[in-house]
């Protein structure tokens, strides 16, 4: 194994987990490998065929990943080829049958020729025809549900499960907030132009094609050489853009999440999410596209509160209530990440079930900035007491409007104008109160619940404890950092 690693890949040591995984595959065991992007999953399936002198079939939906890997493997003298649905190649079939490949890549469609609509679930059929071939599932998505789904749908027999750490210590995580103004885009463009001086690559992920086109345009206008990549471009245009980026013909790629699955470019130093993404998985999976070589790299996210209003839009894609719930949960988790005032690394890792013990990671904005903490006890008291008095089954808008003294029909009908809190918070803008609510949510004083696509906010047990220790004239101290929304 070590000599194969050295001879073909030029590496002298296996990374954590790789050796055990390869050994298990060579022993004929099924394996499930859950490891972060960039941790070295590819070697786990590339080494076994070279040691065992048998063909490995790799099934991936990502044509660009297959092309990249086949190209790289061939350069190393490994006999690799790929079959995609876009290509019919009789000679590849013939060569494969006579065992002339070490590694043969194909799309799920090619592997399940019998079916028209292909899903990974149907790959389980392969198990019926190949009962004695070890199956290996590799993913960077670490939720329990995904793990169980893979094991079940590939009909794995007591698989050897490896769950690596998702902590990439060389990555810095940070978030910037603004409204969607031209000043916001200017700041982004300025930030990116700083990066291009150092000849390191940046990917800017946008949530819509429209945003991508806009940012792309602004960058060009600012004289920054950039490329663009999204799902509405032709295959050919996308391929060209991808290639040019890999070859450093430009240093900034503006893209939607259609770009970059399996991209292995060592000098990507920055990944920027422009807009709160649809799912926390985007933050988790796309951010580590940078810093694959272990050199410090940054993962920034720029968001505006208006991004949070897209829940309805995202949910409209759902066909069942269950799907809608899943979409909502992922979107919520992404929103929480945006609003977090505690360690971002800890949040991401713990979301995927990894315990992160350190109090201060030292490489996220919340751990490194010395934010001024202010005593917000009076404001927190007003907001929480008002939410409670309104019944705790509304979104944030209504209680905030009550605090700000609104006399809307809804408020008058419910007689909330008679509450003692009505109008007590009018000197602060609505967004200020919402930002305070975010802080209280991220510290578990307030609790968000979903009813269909609507969020309701109520006072959680910790908030109730706080309220119980308050009187209208006196509240115990409650220190919170002010976010940029609260500073203005």
Binding site for ligand ADP (CB under 6 A): 11, 13-15, 18, 35, 37-43, 264, 292
Q: What are phi and psi of 455, to 5 degrees?
A: -90, 135
Alpha carbon distances (Å) from 342 to 14, 29, 241, 354, 438: 35, 41, 38, 16, 12
- Residue 137 binding: pick among ligand ADP, Zn ion, none (C-beta 5-8 Å cut-off by kind): none
Q: 367: helix, coil or strand? A: helix
Judged by CB under 5 A, the chain residues 344 through 363 that form the site for Zn ion are 345, 361
Shortest distance (Å) from residue 460 CB to Zn ion: 24
The minimum distance between CB 183 and ligand ADP, in angstroms, equals: 36
DSSP per-residue codes, 10-43: --SSPPTTHHHHHHHHHTT--EEEE--TTS-HHH
Question: Cα-flanking dihedrals φ and ψ of residue 259, to 5°?
Answer: -100, 135
Binding mask 28-57 for Zn ion (x = CB under 5 A): ------------------------------
Stretch of 105-113, 301-309, 338-346, 419-427 contacting Zn ion, by CB under 5 A? 338-346
Tokens of 165: 């750490």
Least Cβ distance, residue 120 to Zn ion (angstroms): 34
Separation in Å, CA 208 to CA 310, 414, 460, 463: 11, 39, 35, 37
Please give the Cα distance from 365 to 375 (Å, whole number): 21
- Please choose which of ligand ADP, Zn ion, none residue 345 contacts, taking the beta carbon within 5 to 8 angstroms, the exact cut-off set by kind: Zn ion
- Residue 35 or 118: which CB sits closer to ligand ADP? 35
Which CB atom, from 112 or from 175, has the smaller least distance to Zn ion?
A: 175
Taking the least distance from each CB to ligand ADP, the nearer of 18 and 287 is: 18
CA–CA gap between residue 52 and residue 64 (Å, rounded):
27
The tokens for 310 are 């897209």
Both tokens of 89, joined, read 């190649």
Give the ranges where 302-354 is alpha helix by DSSP (H).
Answer: 311-315, 321-339, 344-351
Can residue 340 be called a binding residue for Zn ion (CB under 5 A)?
Answer: no
Choose the binding region for Zn ion from 101-109, 141-149, 216-224, 367-375 (rule: CB under 5 A).
367-375
Candidates 276, 367, 457, 470: give the one binding Zn ion (CB under 5 A).
367
CB of 228 to ligand ADP, least distance (A): 24
For position 175 contacting Zn ion by CB under 5 A, the verdict is no
Q: How far is the CB of 124 from Zn ion (least distance, A)?
A: 40
Q: Which stretches of the chain bind Zn ion, using CB under 5 A?
A: 343, 345, 361, 364, 367
């Amino acid at each position: 194994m070590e000599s194969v690693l050295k001879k073909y890949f030029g590496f002298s040591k296996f990374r954590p987990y790789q050796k055990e995984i390869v050994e298990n595959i060579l022993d004929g065991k099924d394996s499930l490998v859950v490891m972060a992007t960039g941790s070295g999953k590819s070697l786990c399936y590339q080494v076994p065929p070279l040691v065992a002198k048998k063909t490995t079939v790799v099934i991936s939906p990502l044509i660009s990943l297959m092309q990249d890997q086949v190209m790289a493997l061939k350069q190393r003298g490994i006999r690799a080829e790929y079959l995609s649905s876009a290509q019919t190649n009789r000679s590849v079939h013939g060569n494969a049958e006579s065992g002339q490949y070490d590694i043969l890549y194909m799309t799920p469609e090619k592997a399940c020729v019998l079916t028209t609509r292909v899903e990974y679930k149907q790959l389980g059929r392969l198990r019926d025809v190949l009962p004695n071939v070890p199956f290996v599932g590799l993913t960077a998505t670490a939720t329990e549900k995904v793990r169980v789904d893979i094991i079940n749908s590939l009909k794995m027999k007591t698989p050897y499960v490896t769950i690596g750490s998702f902590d990439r210590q060389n990555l810095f995580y940070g978030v910037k907030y603004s409204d969607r103004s031209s000043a916001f885009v200017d700041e982004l463009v300025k930030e990116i132009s700083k990066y291009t001086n150092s000849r390191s690559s940046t990917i800017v992920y946008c949530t819509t094609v429209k945003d991508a086109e806009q940012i792309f345009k602004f960058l060009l206008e600012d004289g920054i050489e950039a490329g663009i990549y999204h799902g509405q471009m032709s295959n050919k245009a996308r391929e060209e853009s991808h290639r040019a980026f890999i070859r450093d013909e430009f240093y900034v790629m503006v893209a939607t999440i259609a770009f970059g699955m399996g991209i292995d470019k060592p000098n990507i130093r920055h990944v920027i999410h422009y807009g709160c993404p649809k799912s926390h998985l985007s933050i988790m999976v796309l951010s580590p596209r940078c810093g694959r070589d272990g050199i410090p790299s940054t993962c920034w996210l720029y968001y505006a509160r208006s991004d949070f209003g897209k829940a309805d839009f995202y949910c409209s894609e759902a066909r069942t209530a269950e799907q809608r719930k899943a979409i909502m949960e992922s979107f919520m988790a992404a929103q929480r990440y945006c609003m977090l005032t505690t360690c971002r690394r800890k949040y991401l890792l713990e979301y995927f079930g990894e315990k992160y013990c350190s109090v201060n990671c030292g490489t996220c904005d919340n751990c490194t900035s010395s934010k001024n903490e202010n005593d917000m006890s009076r404001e927190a008291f007003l907001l929480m007491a008002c939410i409670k008095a309104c019944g705790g089954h509304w979104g944030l808008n209504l209680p905030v409007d009550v605090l700000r003294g609104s006399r809307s029909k809804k408020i008058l009908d419910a007689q909330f104008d008679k509450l003692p809190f009505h109008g007590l918070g009018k000197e602060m803008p609505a967004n200020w109160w919402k930002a305070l609510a975010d802080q209280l949510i991220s510290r578990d004083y307030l609790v968000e619940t979903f009813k269909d696509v609507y969020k309701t906010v109520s006072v959680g047990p910790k908030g109730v404890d706080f309220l119980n220790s308050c009187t209208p004239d006196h509240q115990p101290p409650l220190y919170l950092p002010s976010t940029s929304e609260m500073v203005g």
